[in-house]
Amino acid sequence: MGKVSIPITNDFCPQTLFLYGTYKEDGTPNFGLFCWFSYIWDSELGVMACIGGEKLTKDRIHATGVFSANLVTEAILPLADYFGNTDGHTAEKMDIKVQTRKGAVLDVPILEASPLAFELEVFQSVPLHDGEVYLCKIRNVLVDEKLADDGKTIEERLQAIAPVRTTCRTYFSWAGQSMGKWGEPGQTVKHP
C-alpha cells in the first residue's frame, strides 16, 4: 500500500482525557479539560502536561504549584466537555452541581465522579512561546475501591470505568463508538 504525507496533525492518534482540578483564590474548585498529558521517568514515574494560551487552570497552577488530574469516563463526558468549553474566568462556570473532595495528600480538588485521580506537584515548568509544559511529581493516585479489587480482571475493571478517548475533535467510547464532536455532549449540562 502507498503512503501519503498530510498536513501536520495528531488525528487518528487517540488520547486519554483528564479534568485538571485547582482551587481558586476563594478556595472553591475549578476544573478544565485536558488531553496534552503523558508520563515521564526520572527515578520514579512522573507526569508532563502542556497548557496553551491563557486559562484559569494555568493561573491557579502558577499560584499553587499543584493540581489534580481526574480521568474522564463515559459517565462524566457531558460534564467534562462542558468544563473544556467554558472559560474558568467566567463567574458562572462552576455554578453547577459537582461533588468534590480534597486530595488525600495534596490540597487539590478531586472530582468524586471520576474513578481515578493523580495528585500532582509541579517540580519544573518550561515556558514556551504560547504554552507551558509542566513536569510533575505524582504525590498520590486516588482510585475508587472497585479499581483496586484484584478479584476482577483488568479487562473487567477497565470496562466498568469505560475511559473516553479522543481524536479528530471527536470523543470515542471505550468500545470505540463516536460519542459526539467536541462541544456537543456538554450542551446537556444546565445551570440550576
Ligand X SMILES: Cc1cc2nc3c(=O)[nH]c(=O)nc-3n(C[C@H](O)[C@H](O)[C@H](O)COP(=O)(O)O)c2cc1C
Footprint on this chain of ligand X (rule: CB under 6 A): 30, 32-36, 50-52, 55-57, 84-88, 166, 182
Nearer to ligand X, 55 or 152 (CB): 55
Q: How far is the CB of 52 from ligand X (least distance, A)?
A: 4
* Residue showing the smallest CB distance to ligand X in the complex: 88
Nearer to ligand X, 86 or 103 (CB): 86
Nearer to ligand X, 84 or 103 (CB): 84
Question: CB-side exposure of 106: number of CA atoms within 13 Å?
Answer: 26
Q: How far is the CB of 137 from ligand X (least distance, A)?
A: 20
Q: How far is the CB of 30 from ligand X (least distance, A)?
A: 5
Q: How far is the CB of 59 from ligand X (least distance, A)?
A: 8
Asked if 51 and 131 count as a contact pair (C-beta separation under 8 A), the reply is yes
Long-range contacts of 55-62, Cβ-Cβ distance < 8 Å, separation of 24 or more? 55/87, 55/88, 56/22, 56/24, 56/30, 56/32, 56/87, 56/88, 56/89, 57/20, 57/22, 57/30, 57/32, 57/88, 58/132, 60/22, 60/23, 60/24, 60/30, 61/20, 61/22, 61/122, 61/134
Cell numbers 509541579 correspond to 122
Residues paired with residue 181 on neighbouring β-strands, in sequence order: 170
Nearer to ligand X, 89 or 146 (CB): 89
Nearer to ligand X, 67 or 161 (CB): 67
Nearer to ligand X, 80 or 157 (CB): 80
Pairing mode, if any, of strands 131-143 and 165-167? unpaired
Contacts of 149 (CB under 8 A, 6+ apart): 157
Q: How far is the CB of 87 from ligand X (least distance, A)?
A: 5
Q: How far is the CB of 58 from ligand X (least distance, A)?
A: 7
